[in-house]
């Protein structure tokens, strides 16, 4: 029963990582340990070999658990580090227990105060491990909820709320530096949905998100899908001066090729972009958005598929 | 007052059992958290095992 319990630590770690649980390997290890235990119990040996077997199994399953946490992409999170540290301490503790069992040999181990102390410390570490496991679960849950609240599920970009939050922070942190805000709106996007279907419309949005990612990757840009077919980007410091060039690159890259949808249709999509420039300040976001919206309106008025800048300084 | 090792062990195992039971209940309350169920069941099994190990001297030989 204890071996099954130990193996569940490993499968729990796999489940947390959304990886398939390896029931067969788990069962095989449990059966092997049980067979060894029966063999030891029926032999002439006493308490010490049993303690060694328990500790060895304990170390094995904790090593497997440690491997899962150490290979996780989230291994830098506080909870994962905490767990890894505790599991390492438990492995070392069990190694110490094995050494005690080998030192004392038959008979004397059960009454040894050192052995009792080792058990006491190991159970305390187990308490800490369980609390850390709960912490890891809730940490993962919190991060998942945060991502759900801050990300657009279709494109994976930040949503309006996340953009506003991050943009305010950037404007405050880089006060006095040049800043540019770009508002991008797809031209006649409703017609794309009506003509090719909503699935194709979604694919166009995903295509644009990838394009933005590729075009903005060299710059420290903040960008998001602010709603429907509208996207917003913020460029700061040196990149702010390049805003018209970057916007033109995005516009021309989108217009240059038809987008191939999964059902084989070709969608030609253009975009209009409005740019507002100014100086970063704590309360500048609202005014920047207003100016960029006005510039976008003018771009639409000038026949769409173009970039228009608002020259008014903040 | 001298603290008996056996008493300490019982206190530890009881606390451990309650803690793992709480983990199991959380795992059942939040079905998407499969890991909590694994660790909860594992903890409860470990508690029972520790209890049986502690009771080994008083369990008749035929039942062991």
Q: pLDDT tens across A116-134, in order? A: 777 778 888 888 888 888 8
Model ipTM value: 0.77
Work out whether strand A307-310 and strand A271-279 pair parallel, antiparallel, or are unpaired: parallel
DSSP string of A115-167, one letter each residue: HHHHHHHHHHHHHHHHHHHHHHHHHHHHHHHHHHHHB-TTT-SB-HHHHHHHH
Using a CB–CB cutoff of 8 Å, tell me whether A131 touches chain B: yes
Q: Which of A289, A286, A287, A302 is nearest to A251 (CA)?
A: A302
Residues of chain A with CATH 3.30.70.270: 160-310
Q: What are the residue ranges in chain A where pLDDT is below 70? A: 41-47, 105-111, 311-314
Query: What is d(CA A175, CA A281) in angstroms, rounded to the nearest whole number?
Result: 5
Element at A2 (helix H, strand E): helix A2-16
User: Are the Cβ atoms of A5 and B33 closer than 8 angstroms?
Assistant: no
Query: What is d(CA A195, CA A132) in angstroms, rounded to the nearest whole number?
Result: 53
Nearest to B39 among A2, A12, A123 (CB): A12
pLDDT of residue A108: 64
pLDDT of residue A111: 64
Are residues A35 and A81 in contact, defined by beta-carbon separation less than 8 angstroms?
A: no
Cβ contacts of residue A201 below 8 Å, gap of 6+? A189, A192, A193
User: How big is the A-B interface in CB pairs under 8 Å?
Assistant: 76
Task: Spell out which residues of chain B touch residue A127, defining contact as CB-CB under 8 Å.
Answer: 15-16, 19
Rounded to a whole number of angstroms, the distance from the CA of B32 to the nearest CA of chain A is 10
- For A302, how many CA atoms within 13 A lie in the half-sphere containing its CB? 15
Are residues A269 and A276 in contact, defined by beta-carbon separation less than 8 angstroms?
A: no
pLDDT digits (tens, 9 = 90+) for B6-62: 677 777 788 888 888 888 898 888 887 888 898 889 888 888 888 887 777 776 665
Cβ contacts of residue A24 below 8 Å, gap of 6+? none
Q: What would the CATH number be for the domain defined by A160-310?
A: 3.30.70.270
pLDDT of residue A124: 84
Cβ contacts of residue A37 below 8 Å, gap of 6+? A3, A50, A53
Q: What separation in angstroms does the CA of A62 have from each of A55, A67, A87, A216? A: 10, 8, 6, 44
Q: Domain extents for chain B? A: 5-55
């Amino acid at each position: 029963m204890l071996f099954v319990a130990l193996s569940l630590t490993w499968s729990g770690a796999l489940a947390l990582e959304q990886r398939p649980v390896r029931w067969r390997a788990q069962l095989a290890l449990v059966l092997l340990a049980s067979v060894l235990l029966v063999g030891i119990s029926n032999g002439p040996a006493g308490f010490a070999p049993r303690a060694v077997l328990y500790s060895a199994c304990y170390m094995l399953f904790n090593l497997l658990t440690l491997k899962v946490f150490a290979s996780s992409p989230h291994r830098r999170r506080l909870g994962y580090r905490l767990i890894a540290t505790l599991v390492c301490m438990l492995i070392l503790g069990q190694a110490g227990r094995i050494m005690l069992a080998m030192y004392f040999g038959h008979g004397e181990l059960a009454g040894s105060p050192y052995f009792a102390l080792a058990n006491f410390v190991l159970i305390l570490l187990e308490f800490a491990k369980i609390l850390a496991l709960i912490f890891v679960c809730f940490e993962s849950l919190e991060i998942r909820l945060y991502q759900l609240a801050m990300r657009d599920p279709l494109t994976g970009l930040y949503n309006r709320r996340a953009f506003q939050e991050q943009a305010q922070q950037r404007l405050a942190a880089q006060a006095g530096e040049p800043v540019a805000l770009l508002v991008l709106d797809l031209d006649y996007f409703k017609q794309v949905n009506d003509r090719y279907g909503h699935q194709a419309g979604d694919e166009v949005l995903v295509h644009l998100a990838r394009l933005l990612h590729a075009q903005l990757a060299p710059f420290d840009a903040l960008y998001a899908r602010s709603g429907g077919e509208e996207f917003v980007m913020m460029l700061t410091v040196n990149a702010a001066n390049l805003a018209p060039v970057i916007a033109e690159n995005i516009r021309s890259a989108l217009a240059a090729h038809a987008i191939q949808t999964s059902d084989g249709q070709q969608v030609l999509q253009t975009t209009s972009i409005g740019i507002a420039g100014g100086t970063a300040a704590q309360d500048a976001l609202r005014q920047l958005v207003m100016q960029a919206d006005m510039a976008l309106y003018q771009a639409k008025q000038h026949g769409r598929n173009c970039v228009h800048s608002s020259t008014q300084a903040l | 007052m001298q603290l008996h090792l056996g008493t300490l062990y019982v206190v530890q195992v009881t606390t451990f059992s309650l803690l793992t039971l709480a983990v199991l209940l959380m795992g059942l309350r939040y079905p998407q958290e499969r890991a909590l169920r694994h660790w909860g069941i594992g903890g409860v099994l470990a508690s029972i095992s520790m209890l049986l190990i502690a009771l080994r001297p008083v369990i008749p030989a035929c039942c062991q």
